[in-house]
Structures are given as C-alpha cells and as structure tokens.
Amino acid sequence: MRRMREAVLAFTGSNDGLPKTVREYREKYKGVSRILDDHPEILELVHEDLKRLSSGDRQGREGDFTSETILRETVVRIAESEFLQDFLRTRKRAVMDHTFLDKCFQAIQPATWKQLNAVLAQAAVKSGAIGVSTIRADCQLTEEVIERHEGLFEQTPEVLAADMGFCPDEEKYEELQGRVGTLAIPRRLRDLADAVLRMWRSFRAGIEGTISGLKRAFRLTRCHYRGFKRFAAALGLGVFAHNLVVLAKQAIA
C-alpha cells in the first residue's frame, strides 16, 4: 500500500549568511511547496494514479515512497542537496532512482495533468494572480480556446487578442464579435496605429515569452517518450511545473 503524504515538517534550516541568489532560489521552492500544501486536491488527484502502481509486497509492507514525494520529485529532479531533500520531504532517506521515477511518471495519466493545471488556474484566479477577462488564440483553436475558458472559469472572456495572421472572414469575425466584448485583431494596416489594438497586441505578444520559457527551462523542445499518451503526459507535466514556478515567484515578489 502506498501512503499519500509525508508526516515531515520541511525547511527547518536558516538562510542566514547565504548569498542573495541562493536565498531567492530557496524562496522559490518554498513558494512551490506552499502552493502544493494549500491545495491538497493536487496530491489527491496524483495519488489516485500512483496508488495503482504498487500495492506493496506480499507481507503488506508499504511502498518506499509516498505519492507526495513522487509528485515533488516528478516536478524537481534533485542532486546532493539537503534543501531539495527537504522539499521532497525525504531527508535522511534514499532518493528514488531514475527507473522508478520514470515508471511513476508513466502512471500519471494525461487527463490527471489536465486536471492539475485546471486546479492551479482556478487557484491563481482566486488569489488574484491572474485575470480571466482576456485570452490569446490562433485561427485553428479559437472556438476550443473560448469554450475551455468558459468551462474552466465560468465566464466568457471580454477580450480576444490575436495577430494579423488570424484574419477571420467577415462572417467569422461577426460571430466572434457576438461572443466577446472586444476583438483585438488588426485586419487592416491602419488598425496597427490604433492605440487600443496596439495595447492588446502587446498583451498577445507575451505568449511568445511563455512558449520560449517552456521550451528552454521546462524541456518542451523535444519529447523523448514514444506514443501520444506519453507525449501528452510530458506536455502536461511541463506546463504544470511552469505554472507552479510562475505562481510561486508571484507570491514572493
């Protein structure tokens, strides 16, 4: 049987005398830890997948690692760091090897990662970290993006921002105008000089930085797993880890 949580108090050490960059590094992980602790439903969702991975040995011995430790190590690979072992809540215990961690990753379903990201999104809205009045989309995903936004946040966005490559036809443009308050989509060259459209174009451009960060820092440039199911899970994990770090940084800013 695999236990869900660790009964360990983490981060008991002091930051006194440490360089600023190290203190900021530690505060980031403390922020991530607080988010995970404040939203136990995240761990509960992961536990439902991981508890099926192993039921212990024939003598009924519990699994070596709790679902909480597995979740935290799935997000952060540790080295010889007592601080990161505190983050994982495995101080003075052996860490899991890569083979076992890989099995754990494969046990967490793509649908679970989708639910986890939805939990983070709703938590971010509740805390005021993000707003839900505006969205960014391209011409192939517009309907799906609006519908997902409405399903997740229970409201229609007030602004839909896109670049000139969007170019919906007249009928589609009028249909979208009926669904959202402001369509920030430049259709003619003179639209580029419009102050309101220019502001929303700058907002839309922010998505490029997010994509770049996901590719560089969260390893979404290339997926080393085979099959669509594992690809979808790897994508969900990368987005989940990115969202955790972004929200943690905002909390300590």
Rg (alpha carbons) of the chain, rounded to whole number: 21
Q: Residue written as tokens 């997000």? A: 75
Q: Do 136 and 185 belong to one domain?
A: yes
Task: Please answer whether residues 163 and 156 qualify as being in contact, where contact means their C-beta atoms are separated by less than 8 angstroms.
Answer: no
Predicted pLDDT of residue 4: 86
Residue 14 lies in a domain: no
Closest CA to 114 of 59, 46, 181: 46
> What pLDDT is recorded for position 193?
65
Distances 228 to 148, 216, 233, 247 between C-alpha atoms, Å: 21, 22, 9, 28
On whether both 87 and 139 belong to a single domain, the answer is no
Res 61: pLDDT: 64
- What is residue 239's predicted lDDT score, i.e. its pLDDT? 92
- Buried b or exposed e, range 30-62, using 16+ CB within 10 angstroms: bbbbebbeebeebbebbbebbbebbeeeeeeee
pLDDT (0 to 100) of residue 109: 93
Based on the domain organization, do 132 and 37 belong to the same domain?
Answer: no
Q: Are residues 103 and 119 in the same domain?
A: no
**Could you give the number of structural domains in the chain?**
2
The reported pTM is 0.79
Identify whether residues 150 and 173 lie together within a single domain. Answer: yes
Per-residue confidence (pLDDT) for residue 76, from 0 to 100? 57
**Are 70 and 101 in a shared domain?**
yes
80 part of a folded domain: yes
Q: For residue 1, tell me if it sits in a domain.
A: no
Q: Taking CA 147 as the corner, what is the angle to CA 146 and CA 151, rounded to the nearest 5 degrees?
A: 120
Q: Are residues 160 and 99 in the same domain?
A: no
> Residues 226-242: pLDDT tens digits?
899 999 999 999 999 99
228 with 131, same domain: the answer is: yes
| 242 inside domain | yes
134: enclosing H helix or E strand: strand 134-136
Please report the pLDDT score of residue 57 as a whole number: 53
Torsion sign, CA atoms 67, 71, 77, 79: negative
Q: Which parts of the chain register pLDDT below 50? A: none
Query: Where in the sequence is the domain holding 79, given as residue range(s)?
Result: 20-108
What is the predicted pLDDT for the residue at 211? 86
Buried (b) or exposed (e) across 110-126, using 16+ Cβ within 10 A?
A: bebbbbbbebbbebbee
**245 in the same domain as 207:** yes
- Taking only the tens place, the pLDDT of each residue in 37-64 is 999 999 999 999 988 776 555 555 677 7
3-state secondary structure 224-245: CCCCHHHHHHHHHHHHHHHHHH
Instruction: Note whether residue 63 is domain-resident.
Output: yes
Of the residues 86, 108, 130, which one is the last residue of a structural domain?
Answer: 108
pLDDT confidence of residue 47: 93
The pLDDT value given to residue 118: 93
Q: Quick one: which of 145, 131, 10, 24 has its CA closest to 69?
A: 10
